[in-house]
Structure 1
Amino acid sequence: MDLPINPPLAPMLAKAVKTMPEGDLLYEPKWDGFRCIVFRDGDEVELSSRGERPLTRYFPELVDAVKRELPERCVVDGEIVLRQGQVLNFDMLQQRIHPAASRIRMLADTTPASFVAFDLLAVGDQALLDTPLGERRALLEALLADVRPPIHVTIASDSYETALRWFDEFEGAGLDGVIAKPRGITYEPDKRLMFKVKHERTCDCVVAGFRWHKSGPIVGSLLLGLYNDQGTLQHVGVAASFPMKRRAELVEELRPYRMDDLAGHPWEAWARQDEAAAADRMPGAVSRWSGKKDLSWVALRPDLVCEVAYEAMEGERFRHTARFRRWRPDRTPASCDYEQLEVPVAYDLDDVFGGNGARPGP
């Protein structure tokens, strides 16, 4: 591969902000997938992850699409996403990372991925890293005006009001929020020069266990649960963002609730590491993502309730680590159910893709 920019290349990043910024900005949906920079030099194609690791072998259908749809020699920044009906499904996308070649081929046929382009870093012999974003966007639209699925060009707008509407509407299609990009910035790898506004909601959860911190006998994370329609306490994720001093304090706060005998605990089966527990992604269960990581946990009487902030749900679980807000002694554990969660209104994903080569505007 002999391009004006060759892998590895770290992507430019965005810093989180609480409110939608205004100014000379280009707004785009924040896609919920794998960040990916595509390098194409004729028949040579490499898909590079945010961590500068190759994704090429996991998405053979995208390699074929890149050869068919993108310019002969180019470097394009974007996101690999997996569509299920009218929403994006990140959990199914994660399953595409598999060591077996036969499994990869089967998944490429049954759950094909898409690539959403949002920046052009090189074309032909011209590197564009020093070109302002507004000019790069115009070139991207011109070059990819006629691309066909599974390659897409993200919609974009220079309207603040449109960005606010997108933030409210697009979550129903499984998107993460909105990205705001200053038009005049050049492309600086690994620098946080853009802005991201992500969804955040709160709910009350039962604290039914904890894990020790890797550094020693202090609390690493709280294991959170919500009651489902059958009255079963379902593990929904963890809260783990605590200062070190607070982690030590939590050891004493949780001590009265610790259970030496798991009999009667709603997650008793999880300690046995049986197949059913592992399949249900329970605490302590080993997965292909955790490997040899110690996921052992300490059971607590399911009497404590805390309020946490979360960004989105992925099935029955929090999409990312939740953030502890406060204890809720006024809430009963039984009241911590899925009914309290705010469900985003469904949105047609075709409208979010917006047609390949969508132009900025309201």
Structure 2
Amino acid sequence: MDLPVNPPVQPMLAKAVKQVPDPAKFPGGLSFEPKWDGFRCLVFRDGDEVELASRNTKPLTRYFPEVVEAVLEQTPDRCVLDGEIFVAIGPRLQFEVLQDRIHPAASRITKLSQETPAGFVAFDLLAAGDESLLDQPFAVRRERLTEVLAGAPGPVHLTRTTTDRDTAVRWFDQFEGAGLDGVIAKPLDAPYEPGVRSMMKVKHERTADVVVAGYRLHKTSTPDKPLLGSLLLGLYADDGELQHVGVAASFTAARRAELIAELAPLVCDLADHPWGKWHEWAIANPDRSPGTQSRWSAGKDLSFTPLRPERVLEVKYEAMEGRRFRHTAHFKRWRTDRDPLSCGYDQLEQPVSYDLAEVLGG
């Protein structure tokens, strides 16, 4: 492969901001686009040779043969694209289904590429032909990207953009219903800076009251100085079962030690815990229950210290994926005023439904 921009290349990144920024505060203005919820991917094409690279520059090519085929059919002979691989089922993105596509068996990859085919949405152009565009402002790169993907029918798509803040705010609210993750803002006069947080992202953030049902020790924990790594969180389903919904982490070293002491009175035997039955399972399960393995956690110690489900914690979270938090939740405060049994799924905000076709076809 001999391109003006060759792999490995780290993609340009975004820093979090609390609200959609005002373009008037940026001399060159801003371009806004949806924040896709998939696998970040740089596409390198040199004739019949295609490489798909992840955010961490690891190869994705073998896992998405249908994307490689689409790139060969719908992109210029020589180009480098920045974008996102996604899987959509019906009107929404499905991140958990996308995760299933990373599989060691070639037969399984082939089967899934047909059953749950992935698409690629492009949002930047790093090179075209023999020309590197890294030093060009985004306004120029976007114009060139629109030209090279003109008429692409999918599964290679061109992301929507706008320079109007009010439209971006509306997208932030509407597009979540199609499974998107928020809004990205890019300075129109900025070059492409690999590995630098030159863009801005606004993501959805909510709160929930959850039951603390256990914890795992931190990797630096020792018998003489135990340190908490993460709290295991639960919500009660309609059938009265306490479901595992995710974890809260990112504590200071001092707080890790304090939490061990604070939670010590709640430690109980696993046999007496609502999740005790999962200890006997030897295979992965769809709820990713504590203590069970999958190909994502192979070799990791997933044992946990069970706690009587008597304390309630308020956490911040971004979105749900099925019955679980999409990402690690963040500790806000203890809720001593809440009854654990009152912490159910009914408290969670449900995004308004929105058809992904409207996002892609706009």
* TM-score higher than 0.5: yes
Map Cα deviations across residues 116-162 of structure 1 (whole Å, 9 max, x no partner): 00001100000000000000001111111110110100000000101
Aligned partner of residue 59 in structure 2, secondary structure: coil
The aligned amino acid for 2:47 is: G
Q: Structure 1 residue 171: deviation in Å?
A: 0.5
Q: TM-score, normalised by structure 2?
A: 0.96
Do 2:32 and 2:168's aligned partners in 1 also have CA atoms closer than 8 Å? yes
Separation (CA, whole Å) in 1 of partners of 2:34 and 2:247:
27
From 243, 253, 256, the equivalent of 1:244 is: 253
Q: TM-score, normalised by structure 1?
A: 0.96
Kindly report which structure 2 residues correspond to 1:59-78, keeping only aligned pairs within 5 A, or say none: 59-78=64-83
The aligned amino acid for 1:77 is: D
The aligned amino acid for 1:318 is: F
Paired position in structure 2 for 1:265? 273
Paired position in structure 2 for 1:138? 143
Kindly report which structure 2 residues correspond to 1:16-55, keeping only aligned pairs within 5 A, or say none: 16-23=16-23, 24-55=29-60
Map Cα deviations across residues 42-78 of structure 1 (whole Å, 9 max, x no partner): 1000001000011000000011100000001000100
The aligned amino acid for 1:48 is: A
Separation (CA, whole Å) in 1 of partners of 2:67 and 2:212:
42
Q: Structure 1 residue 348: deviation in Å?
A: 1.2
Kindly report which structure 2 residues correspond to 1:113-152, keeping only aligned pairs within 5 A, or say none: 113-152=118-157
Q: Structure 1 residue 243: deviation in Å?
A: 1.1
Do 1:154 and 1:354's aligned partners in 2 also have CA atoms closer than 8 Å? no
From 221, 234, 242, the equivalent of 1:225 is: 234
Map Cα deviations across residues 321-349 of structure 1 (whole Å, 9 max, x no partner): 00010000000011100000000000011
Separation (CA, whole Å) in 2 of partners of 1:84 and 1:201:
25
Q: Structure 1 residue 281: deviation in Å?
A: 1.1
From 337, 346, 349, the equivalent of 1:330 is: 337
Aligned partner of residue 263 in structure 1, secondary structure: helix
The aligned amino acid for 1:266 is: P
The aligned amino acid for 1:71 is: P
Q: Structure 1 residue 165: deviation in Å?
A: 0.6
Separation (CA, whole Å) in 2 of partners of 1:10 and 1:318:
27
Q: Structure 1 residue 163: deviation in Å?
A: 0.7
Aligned partner of residue 325 in structure 1, secondary structure: strand
User: Does the alignment pair 1:281 with 2:288?
Assistant: yes
Gaps of 5+ in 1: 356-362
Aligned residues: 353
From 339, 350, 353, the equivalent of 2:357 is: 350
Kindly report which structure 2 residues correspond to 1:75-224, keeping only aligned pairs within 5 A, or say none: 75-216=80-221, 217-224=226-233
The Cα RMSD (Å) is: 0.9
Paired position in structure 2 for 1:360? none
From 315, 322, 328, the equivalent of 2:322 is: 315
Aligned partner of residue 227 in structure 2, secondary structure: strand
Q: Structure 1 residue 354: deviation in Å?
A: 2.8
Which stretch of the first structure deviates more once superposed, 125-134 or 140-149? 140-149
Q: Structure 1 residue 236: deviation in Å?
A: 0.3
Separation (CA, whole Å) in 2 of partners of 1:254 and 1:151:
51
Map Cα deviations across residues 267-305 of structure 1 (whole Å, 9 max, x no partner): 001223444x74531111111111211111000001010
The aligned amino acid for 1:142 is: E
Paired position in structure 2 for 1:235? 244
Q: Structure 1 residue 264: deviation in Å?
A: 2.9
Do 2:82 and 2:122's aligned partners in 1 also have CA atoms closer than 8 Å? yes
